[in-house]
A and B are shown apart, each in its own frame.
Chain A
């Protein structure tokens, strides 16, 4: 049985510059949570560093991308019987001090709680946030729910969602999945958080990737979600 209720899933791809600081902070200052680092087939020393420090590590033999890596963490959470799992980026942008308020929000009965940067703060108007606006609009249009920060990666899932995310195809930890889940009745809440700047290394989100991401999200939210079969009605996951 797990020591804690909450599992912190840390997907890491080529994060040798940040991973130790992020995990060390978690271990030293937040011992009430369990964590697992999912090394997503990194080509640098991420896995070696984790082994050296005896971190709890899931080491993927090949690079699966964020959704595959996060799903690995969720399968682990499911196997180990954790009640809740939260994604924490390995680049130091997600601050663990907000896990507590996010978890408290979940106590009120939400299936998914998103750490949002813009509940009490205004969204800055720049190119990056333009994408966020559009996705917010797409979700509002299709689900009539207003999400202030749909692209935030800091999301907590309850046990039911852990099962659903870990068993099914097309459950990337992305806004389109959130949109789909809202439309089929999942309760999604948001909590105000601050996010840090990435402390070292480089984000792979460049202009081209961002545009691609946007196009994919919008097509997915507007079109694909309508034709999607409700997978949970077919499978019997919550064993």
Chain B
């Protein structure tokens, strides 16, 4: 009863190994920054470990009182991905803010350049630092 089904094990192993292979391939093609690739490498490695050693999830499920080991696997992956999603969301927010700042600065600087001989455009009296 406390066991992963053979079919699920095969899927897990195949899935984890191909994820790992894909991640490595993309990193080699330099489509991704190392810092971002690191998560997926570790994640792939974790999947492989989980699929090769089902004893781990069986043990963990038992310790936590989770009924079936496969539920533990789901829960664990779900949690990891949730955290990752949240971090992505934070990062995206920061990127948007940066793009906004940059676009504004471009517009402001362009204006200054266009009106450089204009009394108005001269010497911004207080520049921002942020």
Contact = CB atoms under 8 A, between A and B. Distances in A.
Interface in A211-239: 235, 239
A81 B119 CA distance: 13
B108 to A, nearest CB: 6
Given A2-B120, A76-B111, A60 B130 contact: no
B104 A80 contact: no
Classify the secondary structure of B's interface with A.
Answer: helix
Contacts of A1: 125
Contacts of A80: 120, 124-125
A105 interface: no
A76 B110 CA distance: 12
Residue from the set B103, B108, B120 with the largest chain A CB neighbour count within 10 Å: B103
Given A3-B120, A80-B124, A72 B99 contact: no
A235 B97 CA distance: 16
Contacts, number: 59
A58 B107 contact: yes
Given A81-B126, A167-B128, A76 B103 contact: no
A171 to B, nearest CB: 12
A38 interface: yes
| Interface range for B | 10 to 19
A76 B124 CA distance: 9
Contacts of B110: 58-59
Interface string A1-36: 111000000000000000000000000000000000
Interface of B: 97, 99-100, 103-104, 106-108, 110-111, 120, 124-128, 130
Given A71-B104, A72-B104, 14 more contacts: A2-B120, A57-B111, A58-B107, A58-B111, A62-B103, A64-B103, A72-B103, A76-B108, A76-B111, A79-B108, A79-B128, A80-B120, A80-B125, A166-B128
Interface of A: 1-3, 38, 41, 56-62, 64, 68, 71-72, 75-76, 78-81, 166-167, 169, 235, 239
23 contacts: A1-B125, A3-B120, A38-B107, A41-B103, A57-B111, A58-B107, A60-B103, A60-B104, A60-B106, A64-B100, A64-B103, A68-B103, A72-B103, A75-B128, A78-B126, A79-B124, A79-B127, A79-B128, A80-B120, A81-B125, A81-B126, A167-B128, A169-B97
